[in-house]
Structure 1
Amino acid sequence: MVIEIANFQLAPGKTEAFFNAMDQATVLLRAAEGYLGHTVGIGVESPETATLIVVWRSYADHVELFEPSEPHEQFIGMLDGLYEGEISVVHVEAESPQRPLSLLMSQNDA
């Protein structure tokens, strides 16, 4: 399992439009081979930055299947003009036999 973390520098005055477009665009993510889930939010310390976190079955599902696809082009197109510069993307190996994934909240967090 791989987690994609994508940071978008939002265009001035486009925060609401970005999140509205992202709500529509994530339909394309959900249909992608290897997609397992996602969340999107705004930076606490830097509210001009939005972060999209996508959980993929594998790195290849994201970069070899989704990125070169027409749905990816449509996804990026739906966000066109709502962010500035390049999207900063990193991938994190989230689970291995030595490091199982645990995203469960503690009893105190519930």
Structure 2
Amino acid sequence: MITELATLYVKPNRQKQFETDFEIAGQYISSIDGYISHSLQKCVEQDDKYILLVSWRSLDDHTIGFRKSEVYLKWKELLHHYYDPFPVVEHFETIIENKK
């Protein structure tokens, strides 16, 4: 499994609309083969800062399956105008995981 992490900075006074549109955009990303789950988390200390965590079966499921799909164009149209600066997206694999 691969975790995609994107730090998102949303333009001032656009947070509520961004959150509404992000809820809609969830249908697009979740329709892709290899998608497992996603969460959007808002920073407590900084009102314009969010992180997006997406679990994918493989890196290619994100970088090829999603990013080269028609639904990515819908995702992009709905969300990309909110960001300033444009997010850096990184991918991680679990090395150690502990759960209670």
Q: Quick one: structure 1 residues 101 and 57, their matched pair in 2 at CA, closer, same or farther if it must change by over 3 Å? A: farther
How many Å separate the matches in 2 of 1:41 and 1:56? Answer: 18
Q: Which residue of 2 aligns with 1:43?
A: 43
Give distance in 1, aligned partners of 2:55 and 2:48: 23
C-alpha contact 1:17 1:82 (8 A) present in aligned 2: no
- The CA distance in 2 between the partners of 1:7 and 1:91, in whole Å, is 12
2:28 is the counterpart of 1:9: no
CA RMSD, aligned part only?
Answer: 1.5
User: Pairwise mapping of residues 78-93 of structure 1 onto structure 2 (< 5 A)?
Assistant: 78-93=78-93
Distance 2:26 2:36 in 1: 12
Partner of 1:52: 52
Query: Using the alignment, how far apart are the partners of 1:66 and 1:49 within structure 2?
Result: 24
- The alignment-based identity, stated in percent, is 26
SS of structure 1 residue aligned to 2:55: strand
CA shift, 1:44, in A, is: 2.2
Instruction: Report deviation, 1:80.
Output: 3.6
**Structure 1: runs of 5 or more not aligned:** none
- Structure that is richer in helix per residue: 2
Equivalent residue pairs, number: 100
Confirm or deny that 1:18 pairs with 2:21.
Answer: no
Deviation beyond 6 Å, 4+ runs, structure 1: none
**Gaps in structure 2 of 5+ consecutive residues:** none
TM-score by length of 1: 0.83
